[in-house]
Amino acid sequence: MTKRLDPNGGGSVIAGLFRNQIFIPFAALMLLAIFNLVADPSFFAITLNNNSAGYPVLSGQLITIIDNGSELAILAIGMTLVTASSRGQDISVGAAIAISGSVLLRVLCGTDTRPETMQAPIIVGFIVAAAASMAFGAFNGVLVAYFRIQPMVATLILFTAGRSIAAWINNNELPIVPGEEFKYFGGYIPGIPIPTPFIIAILCFILTWLMLKFTNIGLYSQSVGINEQTSRLNGLNPELIKLCTYVILGLCVAVTGLIKVSRLSTINYSVIAKDIEMDAILAVALGGNSLSGGKFNMAASILGAYVIQFLTTTLYKFDVQATALPAYKAVVVIALVVFSAPVVREKISRLAKKLRAPKTAENHA
């Protein structure tokens, strides 16, 4: 059983804040916010305008951030659980999004790539897509849990083959979903000025919160990640729990896929959700979670995801030269990670001191 880290030792409020894991992404967010405030306060302007369909929508850089960051935040939920339980990351989520999106389009468009009307209700399409991506999640989970292959190696299979499978599902055609309703998920529901992806994300957060509160999946996946043997001795089934986390990630992938495909009503197998797996892993890391499993803080991961989008939007806003963009991003990420490192190190050394005296700290150096 894991025990929550006691903020003991007479820490003041500030020390407690520092010790809290969510401090890391929060500080990063503040840093970015202050930078933008100093450089150009209009960054924070939010306006209410009509879109071309005539409905009022909110717009502004902040809205763009919560809009586009939501997919990543939803993925970060699943990735955090997978990281905690299996002590590794799923690098196939981008490819899995392509598959799930492709299945969705296949169901909605049927065999015709340019149908006049949708061939099936959206909910049916989504359920089929979710089933497919959970099946692929289970495939990864079985490899990791029962065959004991390292997560990164196991998911490499789908990472390599996924986009080709996605293309194959639709016969390498690029179907286009007709109708306005399908665009709601990646855009706006008429009359509601908040971007739908953010609403979906909030729903996912609430569901996750309920799941962590009323089921033991959070506790179990942490204990499996910390010590599989002990968990087994305590009557848990580590394999099943790992598998569960991968299936949950599969569901997150399906939701993300729905939003991504809905944004443009179509798909491009090779570029949809490109490199998103790295951003999802980065979100988990920015949340101050150990990438080698065990304890996690879900809220910190989610905040980490929005920090990444905040950074991206900031770089676009300041017209950073196209060729230099990845370099800037790398510099900021390095800065954030280094910034967060001593805190993590301090935490770990304290945790290590508690558990047993020597040896643990150097693993994380």
Partner 1 sequence: MKLRKLLSAAASTMLCMAMVAGCGNSAPAATQAPAAPAADNTASSGKLIKVGIINNDPNESGYRTANDKDLQKTFCKENGFDASFAYSLKNDEQITAAQKFIQDEVDYLLLSAADTAGWDTVLKDAQTAGVKVILFDRTIDADESLYEASIVSYMAKEGQTAVDWLVGQGLDKYEIIHLQGVMGSAAQKGRSGALDTTAKEKGWTIVTQQTAEWNAEKAQQIVQSAIDSGKSFNVIYAENDDMAKGAVAALDKANISHGVGKDVIVMGFDCNKWALEELLAKNWNYDGQCNPFQSSYIKDIIDTIESGGTVSQKTIIMDEKGFDASTITQEDVDNYGI
Residues binding partner 1 (CB under 8 A): 42, 45, 49-53, 57, 59-61, 64, 68, 114, 143, 147, 149, 157, 160-161, 163-168, 171-172, 174, 176, 187-188, 260, 263-264, 266, 268-272, 274, 312-313, 316-317, 319, 322-323, 325
Least CB distance from residue 69 to partner 1, whole Å?
11
User: Contact 177/108 with Cβ under 8 angstroms?
Assistant: yes
Between residues 114 and 353, which has the closer beta carbon with respect to partner 1? 114
Concatenated DSSP letters for 100-137? HHHHHHHHHHTT-SS-SS-SS-HHHHHHHHHHHHHHHH
Nearer to partner 1, 168 or 339 (CB): 168
| Token output for 137 | 């999640």
**Tokens in use for 320?**
């950073």
Distance in Å, CB of 51 to partner 1, minimum: 5
In angstroms, give the least distance from the CB of 245 to partner 1.
21
Nearer to partner 1, 227 or 266 (CB): 266
Nearer to partner 1, 21 or 61 (CB): 61
What's the min distance (Å) between Cβ of 254 and partner 1? 18
Task: Provide CB contacts within 8 A for 362, sequence distance 6+.
Answer: none
| 111 vs 216, beta carbon nearer partner 1 | 111
Task: State the minimum distance, in angstroms, from the CB of residue 242 to partner 1.
Answer: 17
Smallest gap from Cβ 207 to partner 1, in A, equals 25
How far apart are CB 364 and partner 1 at their closest, in Å?
29
Would you call 47 helix, strand, or coil by DSSP? Answer: strand
> For residues 122 and 259, which CB has a smaller minimum distance to partner 1 in the complex?
259
- Minimum Å distance from CB 161 to partner 1? 5
Distance CA 303, CA 299 (A): 6
Categorise residue 25: left if φ over 0, alpha if ψ from -120 to 50, beta otherwise.
Answer: alpha
Q: Identify the CA nearest to 307 among candidates 76, 43, 82, 65.
A: 65
For partner 1, give the closer residue by CB, 327 or 334: 327
| Residue 354, burial from CB neighbour count under 10 angstroms (0-12, 13-18, 19+) | exposed
Q: How many helices and strands (H and E) does the chain possess?
A: 13, 2
* 8 Å CB contact between 73 and 299: no
Distance separating alpha carbons of residues 68 and 216, to the nearest angstrom: 31
Nearest-approach distance from CB 169 to partner 1, in angstroms: 9
In the complex with partner 1, the residue whose CB is nearer, 187 or 250, is 187
- Residue 16's contacts (CB-CB under 8 Å, 6 or more residues apart) are 7
In the beta sheet, which residues pair with residue 189? none
Nearer to partner 1, 72 or 247 (CB): 72
**What are the backbone dihedrals phi and psi of residue 49, each rounded to the nearest 5 degrees, phi first?**
-125, 170
Amino acid identity of residue 225, one-letter, is G
